[in-house]
Amino acid sequence: MEKLGLVASGSKSAECYVIFEEEAELKHNIVEEDFVVIEDKRTKLKTLGIVRTGRGIDPTIKTGVYGVGTAYVSKGKGDLLSSNRKFFDAAVTVLGEIKDGSVVPNRKWITPGSWVFIPDANPFSYFVPTGDPIEIGHYKDRNDWRLKLNANMITRHVAIYGSTGSGKSHLVRVELIPEIVKKTKFSVLVFDYSGEDYAPYFDDIISVKDLAIDWETMVSKICEECRDFGYVGKGTDNAITNAVFIGVKRLYERGTKNFYQDLIAEVEAELQQSQKGAWLEGYLNKFHAYYEEVDPDELNELFGRSLTAEKIEQMLNEKKVVVVDLSSEEPESRVSAVLSILRYYIKQLKKNESGKGLKVLNRVLVIDEAPQFCPYGREFGAVAETTDAIATLSALGRKHSLGLVLLSQGIKGDAGINAAIRRNINTKFVGKLSPNDLSEVNNEILQSKIEDTMITNLLTGEFYVAGVMSPIGQAILIRGFASKEEKYGG
């Protein structure tokens, strides 16, 4: 190993500063996120670290203080300054002690004056995940230094954050999904919001226009389009919505050729049974006034769809990847379609917990543009129900081998994900983000001392990865290694 410098005073077990030998950082092109090896001068133990921030220091040209160096610069004679007192140092995060070919937690204070080296072996080789290993990305320019993640931990859920163009969809489509398909027992269901990021690259595609919705989602859709029949508040409970609830359920149970018209008869009959006199007349008038706003052809077409969540589940038993192309519907209908499938999986989880269902599902649900379905702020209607459904799956999925992969352009605000759901996400990939999200990155998402400028200046395809899928206890910068697009069949 080649020497870089020495550990400076103030070193701890988990972090230290390194002072580089003259020109060493230039000679070896040391930059932020480079690995280093520290050999303790007392114990001779070796620890693996990663450079987080670097500094160039020259006490003769400090800002805010007038001195000889300041005088030279102010008089235009800066080129005459001596460089004898200039040096470079860097903050290093200690990943652990190198022991028996692996890295274990380091509990010993690092001795000041210990030598720091460039590693001569692949640092990732020290980290072997338990469970089924999958490879996602590589270390910087070393294509052969690939990061292995524990695929079994995908059931503790994944979030991939990055602004438009950061490479989120590429990471999932070209790296994560193929690794899951080839190396694990999981099947993957993808909700492609735009119809451009996944549908063109896979064989088994479902159009949202073919997707049936369950009766509960149909109730939600009707009530939302009818603006809850004039009542205010989420989950409004009133005579009309109760009648719609009962009527829709009956029609789904027995079937009908004209859903729109037959629902009118069902609601009228239910109201006539539960209400009397002026109350009945008022409820009937209000129902008809709002229900006229619903398109009969749209409602009948939606009811007539036959591709149910159960049939999609059968497809997943035979195929490893199924993509739902959501692009051909309006945003509200996309939400309803996703909600219907999420409700199916919630029912499966509840069956499992009651002992009546399968023991494991072995499913991964990829939700593109996740804030459209579980936004950071408070929502009403179908979006609120979808948020609740994703929160339920994020809380219960792990026990039943169901994982979520949520893609989001941001962490908070309009481009962010609901906070209750984020708390159940235990692996994060963070690409280039806007400055608005920086306060969340180190405090909540990565929990590592990474400079803000590193996050805002990441290149397309570069991501920090941290969490339970990674065997490394700190956030690590990776780049995508897939060199070409492939089309993956089921």
Answer whether residue 188 shows pLDDT above 70.
yes
Of 235 and 9, the one with more pLDDT:
9
How many Å apart are CA 446 and CA 429, to the nearest integer?
A: 9
In a domain, 485, yes or no: no
Answer whether residue 416 shows pLDDT above 60.
yes
Answer whether residue 299 shows pLDDT above 70.
yes
Determine which helix (DSSP H) or strand (DSSP E) holds 364, and give its type and residue range. Answer: strand 363-367
Whether residues 249 and 283 fall in one domain: yes
Q: Tell me the CA distances in angstroms from 60 to 4, 66, 76, 86, one per residue in order.
A: 24, 9, 15, 8
Which of 76, 104, 123 is where one domain is finished? 123
How many Å apart are CA 365 and CA 376, to the nearest integer?
A: 20
Determine contact, residues 362/399, Cβ cutoff 8 Å.
no
Comparing 18-32, 144-158, 222-236, 329-343, which segment has the lowest mean pLDDT? 222-236
How many Å apart are CA 31 and CA 9, to the nearest integer?
A: 21
Residues 153, 95, 119: CA angle, nearest 5 degrees: 115
Answer whether residue 119 shows pLDDT above 50.
yes
In a domain, 488, yes or no: no
The per-residue pLDDT for 487 is 47
Answer whether residue 279 shows pLDDT above 80.
yes
Whether residues 332 and 438 fall in one domain: yes
In a domain, 101, yes or no: yes
- Residue 484's Cβ-count burial label (10 Å; 0-12, 13-18, 19+) is exposed
Q: What percent of the chain has pLDDT over 90?
A: 69
- Number of structural domains (the chain) is 3
Determine contact, residues 161/428, Cβ cutoff 8 Å.
yes
In a domain, 37, yes or no: yes
Q: In the chain, what's the furthest Cα-to-Cα distance?
A: 100
Tell me the per-residue pLDDT of 94-108, one tens digit each, with 9 for 90 and over: 999 999 999 999 999
How many Å apart are CA 327 and CA 111, to the nearest integer?
A: 59
Comparing 35-39, 41-45, 352-356, which segment has the lowest mean pLDDT? 352-356
Determine contact, residues 43/151, Cβ cutoff 8 Å.
no
Q: pLDDT band for position 325 (50/70/90)?
A: very high
Whether residues 379 and 468 fall in one domain: yes
Q: pLDDT band for position 235 (50/70/90)?
A: very low
How far from each other are the two terminal CA atoms of the chain, in whole angstroms? 47
Lookup: tokens for 82: 């001596």
Answer whether residue 481 shows pLDDT above 70.
no
Whether residues 180 and 292 fall in one domain: no
Answer whether residue 489 shows pLDDT above 50.
no
Answer whether residue 117 shows pLDDT above 80.
yes
Q: pLDDT band for position 285 (50/70/90)?
A: very high
The per-residue pLDDT for 93 is 94
Lookup: tokens for 140: 């910087």
The per-residue pLDDT for 490 is 42
Question: pTM of the full predicted structure?
Answer: 0.89
The per-residue pLDDT for 440 is 80
DSSP letter assigned to residue 110: P
Tell me the per-residue pLDDT of 18-41, one tens digit each, with 9 for 90 and over: 999 888 888 888 889 999 999 999
Q: Tell me the CA distances in angstroms from 19 to 24, 86, 240, 276, 449, one per residue in order.
A: 10, 11, 74, 86, 19
The per-residue pLDDT for 68 is 66
- Give the three-state DSSP class for 39: strand
Whether residues 354 and 448 fall in one domain: yes
Of 71 and 331, the one with more pLDDT:
331
Helix, strand, coil percentages (3-state) for the chain, rounded to 5, are: 40, 25, 35
Domain of 447 in residue numbering reads as 133-210+306-479
In a domain, 490, yes or no: no
| Amino acid (one-letter) located at 397 | G
Question: In 10 A of CB 314, how many CB atoms?
Answer: 11
In a domain, 194, yes or no: yes
How many Å apart are CA 211 and CA 337, to the nearest integer?
A: 7
The per-residue pLDDT for 256 is 94
Answer whether residue 438 shows pLDDT above 90.
no
Comparing 2-16, 224-238, 247-261, 366-380, which segment has the lowest mean pLDDT? 224-238
How many Å apart are CA 479 and CA 466, to the nearest integer?
A: 14
Tell me the per-residue pLDDT of 418-428, one tens digit each, with 9 for 90 and over: 999 999 999 99
Which of 123, 143, 160 is where one domain is finished? 123
Determine contact, residues 160/406, Cβ cutoff 8 Å.
yes
- Give the three-state DSSP class for 6: strand
Angle between helices 215-225 and 381-396 (to 10 degrees): 150
Whether residues 250 and 343 fall in one domain: no
Whether residues 57 and 160 fall in one domain: no
Unique residue bearing structure tokens 């239910």: 270
Whether residues 444 and 470 fall in one domain: yes
Answer whether residue 211 shows pLDDT above 60.
yes
The per-residue pLDDT for 56 is 86
Whether residues 265 and 311 fall in one domain: no
The per-residue pLDDT for 323 is 97
Answer whether residue 44 shows pLDDT above 60.
yes
Whether residues 84 and 206 fall in one domain: no
Comparing 329-343, 351-365, 398-412, which segment has the lowest mean pLDDT? 351-365
Unique residue bearing structure tokens 């995908």: 154
The domain spanning residue 316 has which CATH number?
3.40.50.300
In a domain, 489, yes or no: no
| Mean pLDDT rounded to a whole number for the chain | 89
Q: Could you give phi then psi for residue 369, rounded to 5 degrees? A: 50, 55
Angle between helices 239-254 and 277-291 (to 10 degrees): 60
Whether residues 394 and 446 fall in one domain: yes
The per-residue pLDDT for 80 is 53
How many Å apart are CA 44 and CA 130, to the nearest integer?
A: 29
Whether residues 316 and 457 fall in one domain: yes
The per-residue pLDDT for 377 is 80
Reported as half-sphere exposure (CB side, CA atoms, 13 A), residue 339 has a value of 26
The per-residue pLDDT for 69 is 65
Which of 104, 123, 142 is where one domain is finished? 123
In a domain, 23, yes or no: yes
Q: pLDDT band for position 288 (50/70/90)?
A: very high
The per-residue pLDDT for 390 is 97
Tell me the per-residue pLDDT of 241-266, one tens digit each, with 9 for 90 and over: 999 999 999 999 999 999 999 999 99
Comparing 67-76, 171-180, 333-342, which segment has the lowest mean pLDDT? 67-76
Answer whether residue 486 shows pLDDT above 90.
no
Answer whether residue 483 shows pLDDT above 60.
no
